[in-house]
Amino acid sequence: MPKPRIILFGTGEIAELADFYFTHDSQYEVAAFTVDAAFLTTNEFHGRPVVAFEEVADRFPPDQFHCFVAISYAKVNAVRAEKVAAARAKGYPIAAYLSSRATVFPGFELQENCFILEDNTIQPFAKIGANVTLWSGNHIGHHSTIEDDVFLASHVVVSGGVRIGRGSFVGVNVTIRDHIAIGQKCVIGAGALVLEDQPDFSVVAARGSERSPVPSTRLRNL
Protein backbone atom coordinates (compact mmCIF):
# COMPACT_ATOMS: atom_id res chain seq x y z
CA MET A 1 0.00 0.00 0.00
CA PRO A 2 1.48 3.42 -0.93
CA LYS A 3 2.30 5.84 1.85
CA PRO A 4 0.01 8.84 2.38
CA ARG A 5 1.66 11.98 1.02
CA ILE A 6 2.17 15.27 2.82
CA ILE A 7 3.03 18.87 2.04
CA LEU A 8 5.38 20.56 4.50
CA PHE A 9 4.79 24.22 5.24
CA GLY A 10 8.18 25.91 5.56
CA THR A 11 11.66 25.75 4.03
CA GLY A 12 13.77 26.56 7.08
CA GLU A 13 15.78 24.30 9.36
CA ILE A 14 12.71 22.88 11.09
CA ALA A 15 11.15 21.99 7.74
CA GLU A 16 14.42 20.35 6.71
CA LEU A 17 14.37 18.27 9.89
CA ALA A 18 10.69 17.44 9.44
CA ASP A 19 11.45 16.21 5.94
CA PHE A 20 14.16 13.95 7.35
CA TYR A 21 12.04 12.55 10.17
CA PHE A 22 8.92 12.00 8.07
CA THR A 23 10.98 10.37 5.32
CA HIS A 24 12.94 8.00 7.55
CA ASP A 25 10.59 7.35 10.47
CA SER A 26 6.93 7.73 9.55
CA GLN A 27 4.12 6.39 7.45
CA TYR A 28 4.22 9.49 5.23
CA GLU A 29 5.95 10.43 2.01
CA VAL A 30 6.92 14.10 1.65
CA ALA A 31 5.69 15.34 -1.74
CA ALA A 32 6.44 19.07 -1.66
CA PHE A 33 7.03 22.18 0.42
CA THR A 34 4.96 25.34 0.59
CA VAL A 35 5.44 28.88 1.89
CA ASP A 36 3.54 32.12 1.60
CA ALA A 37 4.10 33.70 -1.80
CA ALA A 38 5.88 36.67 -0.22
CA PHE A 39 8.58 34.30 1.07
CA LEU A 40 8.94 32.12 -2.03
CA THR A 41 12.60 32.39 -3.07
CA THR A 42 13.15 29.01 -4.75
CA ASN A 43 11.14 26.48 -6.72
CA GLU A 44 12.90 23.45 -5.24
CA PHE A 45 14.05 22.29 -1.80
CA HIS A 46 15.73 18.93 -1.16
CA GLY A 47 14.71 17.77 -4.60
CA ARG A 48 11.03 18.52 -4.09
CA PRO A 49 8.95 21.37 -5.48
CA VAL A 50 8.23 24.49 -3.44
CA VAL A 51 4.94 26.19 -4.23
CA ALA A 52 3.19 29.29 -2.96
CA PHE A 53 0.70 28.47 -0.23
CA GLU A 54 -1.90 30.57 -2.04
CA GLU A 55 -1.73 28.07 -4.95
CA VAL A 56 -0.86 24.83 -3.17
CA ALA A 57 -4.36 23.37 -3.26
CA ASP A 58 -4.43 23.65 -7.06
CA ARG A 59 -1.30 21.52 -7.51
CA PHE A 60 -1.66 19.32 -4.42
CA PRO A 61 -5.38 18.99 -3.66
CA PRO A 62 -6.40 18.41 -0.04
CA ASP A 63 -8.38 15.30 -0.91
CA GLN A 64 -5.09 13.65 -1.92
CA PHE A 65 -2.50 15.16 0.43
CA HIS A 66 -2.03 15.92 4.11
CA CYS A 67 -0.25 19.01 5.44
CA PHE A 68 2.21 19.58 8.27
CA VAL A 69 3.33 23.03 9.43
CA ALA A 70 7.05 22.83 10.17
CA ILE A 71 7.91 26.24 11.55
CA SER A 72 9.23 27.58 14.84
CA TYR A 73 7.85 29.28 17.94
CA ALA A 74 7.83 32.74 16.31
CA LYS A 75 5.58 35.28 18.08
CA VAL A 76 5.15 32.83 20.97
CA ASN A 77 3.88 30.09 18.64
CA ALA A 78 1.19 32.29 17.09
CA VAL A 79 2.57 32.05 13.55
CA ARG A 80 2.59 28.25 13.61
CA ALA A 81 -0.96 28.17 14.98
CA GLU A 82 -2.15 30.59 12.28
CA LYS A 83 -0.66 28.47 9.50
CA VAL A 84 -2.20 25.28 10.87
CA ALA A 85 -5.58 27.02 10.87
CA ALA A 86 -5.00 28.25 7.32
CA ALA A 87 -4.10 24.76 6.09
CA ARG A 88 -7.16 23.33 7.82
CA ALA A 89 -9.32 26.02 6.21
CA LYS A 90 -8.11 24.85 2.79
CA GLY A 91 -9.40 21.39 3.68
CA TYR A 92 -6.11 19.63 4.40
CA PRO A 93 -5.97 16.84 6.95
CA ILE A 94 -3.22 17.86 9.38
CA ALA A 95 -0.45 15.30 9.88
CA ALA A 96 1.62 14.72 13.04
CA TYR A 97 4.92 13.07 13.86
CA LEU A 98 5.75 10.83 16.83
CA SER A 99 9.27 9.40 16.86
CA SER A 100 9.55 5.65 17.05
CA ARG A 101 12.24 6.36 19.67
CA ALA A 102 9.88 8.27 21.97
CA THR A 103 8.35 6.49 24.96
CA VAL A 104 4.58 6.61 25.28
CA PHE A 105 2.06 4.37 26.98
CA PRO A 106 -1.43 2.99 26.27
CA GLY A 107 -3.96 5.79 26.20
CA PHE A 108 -1.69 8.38 24.63
CA GLU A 109 -3.41 10.25 21.80
CA LEU A 110 -1.32 12.02 19.17
CA GLN A 111 -2.96 15.30 18.14
CA GLU A 112 -2.64 17.12 14.81
CA ASN A 113 0.56 18.94 13.92
CA CYS A 114 2.46 17.59 16.91
CA PHE A 115 6.20 17.12 16.36
CA ILE A 116 7.50 14.77 19.05
CA LEU A 117 11.14 13.83 18.58
CA GLU A 118 13.37 11.07 19.92
CA ASP A 119 13.95 10.32 23.61
CA ASN A 120 10.84 12.06 24.87
CA THR A 121 9.21 10.20 27.74
CA ILE A 122 5.51 10.91 28.13
CA GLN A 123 4.27 9.18 31.26
CA PRO A 124 0.81 7.64 31.73
CA PHE A 125 -2.13 10.04 32.10
CA ALA A 126 -0.18 12.97 30.62
CA LYS A 127 -2.01 14.86 27.87
CA ILE A 128 -0.41 16.64 24.93
CA GLY A 129 -2.49 19.14 22.98
CA ALA A 130 -2.49 19.90 19.27
CA ASN A 131 0.33 21.70 17.47
CA VAL A 132 2.83 20.93 20.23
CA THR A 133 6.54 20.56 19.52
CA LEU A 134 8.58 18.43 21.92
CA TRP A 135 12.21 18.63 20.87
CA SER A 136 14.41 15.68 21.84
CA GLY A 137 14.99 14.37 25.35
CA ASN A 138 12.13 15.76 27.47
CA HIS A 139 10.37 14.19 30.45
CA ILE A 140 6.62 14.83 30.65
CA GLY A 141 5.41 13.68 34.04
CA HIS A 142 2.25 11.75 34.85
CA HIS A 143 -1.06 13.65 34.95
CA SER A 144 0.51 16.71 33.34
CA THR A 145 -1.22 18.66 30.60
CA ILE A 146 0.49 20.55 27.81
CA GLU A 147 -2.09 22.70 26.07
CA ASP A 148 -2.25 23.52 22.35
CA ASP A 149 0.44 25.44 20.43
CA VAL A 150 3.26 24.91 22.95
CA PHE A 151 6.97 24.49 22.11
CA LEU A 152 9.34 22.65 24.48
CA ALA A 153 13.04 22.72 23.65
CA SER A 154 15.32 19.85 24.70
CA HIS A 155 15.88 18.28 28.13
CA VAL A 156 12.94 19.89 29.88
CA VAL A 157 11.73 18.18 33.04
CA VAL A 158 7.98 18.58 33.53
CA SER A 159 7.10 16.98 36.86
CA GLY A 160 3.79 15.31 37.65
CA GLY A 161 0.54 17.23 37.60
CA VAL A 162 1.92 20.28 35.79
CA ARG A 163 -0.15 22.38 33.38
CA ILE A 164 1.55 24.42 30.65
CA GLY A 165 -0.76 26.97 29.08
CA ARG A 166 -1.56 27.44 25.44
CA GLY A 167 1.09 29.07 23.28
CA SER A 168 3.91 28.92 25.82
CA PHE A 169 7.58 28.38 25.09
CA VAL A 170 9.89 26.42 27.42
CA GLY A 171 13.65 26.59 26.82
CA VAL A 172 16.37 23.97 27.17
CA ASN A 173 17.13 22.42 30.55
CA VAL A 174 14.12 23.93 32.33
CA THR A 175 12.81 22.14 35.42
CA ILE A 176 9.19 22.59 36.49
CA ARG A 177 8.19 21.37 39.95
CA ASP A 178 5.17 19.11 40.41
CA HIS A 179 1.64 20.58 40.28
CA ILE A 180 2.80 23.94 38.94
CA ALA A 181 0.47 25.86 36.61
CA ILE A 182 2.05 27.94 33.86
CA GLY A 183 -0.29 30.35 32.13
CA GLN A 184 -0.86 31.03 28.47
CA LYS A 185 1.87 32.46 26.22
CA CYS A 186 4.56 32.32 28.88
CA VAL A 187 8.25 32.22 28.03
CA ILE A 188 10.38 30.12 30.35
CA GLY A 189 14.03 30.73 29.52
CA ALA A 190 16.84 28.19 29.30
CA GLY A 191 17.90 26.67 32.60
CA ALA A 192 15.04 28.12 34.66
CA LEU A 193 13.85 26.36 37.81
CA VAL A 194 10.10 26.98 38.19
CA LEU A 195 8.86 26.44 41.74
CA GLU A 196 5.63 28.48 41.72
CA ASP A 197 2.67 29.15 39.45
CA GLN A 198 3.15 31.64 36.64
CA PRO A 199 0.33 33.87 35.34
CA ASP A 200 -0.42 34.40 31.65
CA PHE A 201 2.32 36.16 29.63
CA SER A 202 5.01 35.61 32.26
CA VAL A 203 8.69 35.64 31.35
CA VAL A 204 11.00 33.59 33.58
CA ALA A 205 14.69 33.96 32.79
CA ALA A 206 17.55 32.33 34.67
CA ARG A 207 20.81 34.26 34.93
CA GLY A 208 23.61 32.87 32.82
CA SER A 209 26.94 31.86 34.32
CA GLU A 210 29.38 34.74 34.60
CA ARG A 211 32.62 34.78 32.66
CA SER A 212 35.67 34.59 34.88
CA PRO A 213 38.05 37.56 34.77
CA VAL A 214 40.92 35.02 34.65
CA PRO A 215 41.74 33.95 31.05
CA SER A 216 42.09 30.28 30.22
CA THR A 217 45.83 30.68 29.65
CA ARG A 218 46.31 31.33 33.36
CA LEU A 219 44.42 28.28 34.59
CA ARG A 220 46.55 25.64 36.22
CA ASN A 221 46.66 22.02 35.10
CA LEU A 222 45.25 22.77 31.69
* Distance (Å, whole) CA 155 – CA 139: 7
Let me know if the fold of 5-95 is the same as that of 96-204: no
- Whether domain 96-204 has CATH 2.160.10.10: yes
Evaluate whether 129 touches 146 at the Cβ level (below 8 Å).
yes
Query: Could you tell me how far CA 29 lies from the centroid of its own chain?
Result: 20
Report phi then psi at 34, rounded to 5.
Answer: -145, 145
Is the pLDDT at 3 greater than 90, yes or no? no
Evaluate whether 124 touches 161 at the Cβ level (below 8 Å).
no
**Architecture of domain 5-95 in this structure:** 3-Layer(aba) Sandwich (3.40)
Query: Picking from 41-45, 121-125, 215-219, which range would have the lowest pLDDT averaged per residue?
Result: 215-219
Domain ranges of the chain: 5-95, 96-204
Distance (Å) of CA 164 to CA 48, 108, 157, 158: 36, 17, 12, 9
Evaluate whether 90 touches 61 at the Cβ level (below 8 Å).
no
Question: For 62-103, how does the pLDDT look when each residue is reduced to its tens digit (9 = 90+)?
Answer: 999 999 999 999 999 999 999 999 999 999 999 999 999 999
Evaluate whether 113 touches 94 at the Cβ level (below 8 Å).
yes
Greatest alpha-carbon span in the chain: 67
Read off the pTM: 0.95
Band the pLDDT of 222: cuts 50, 70, 90.
low
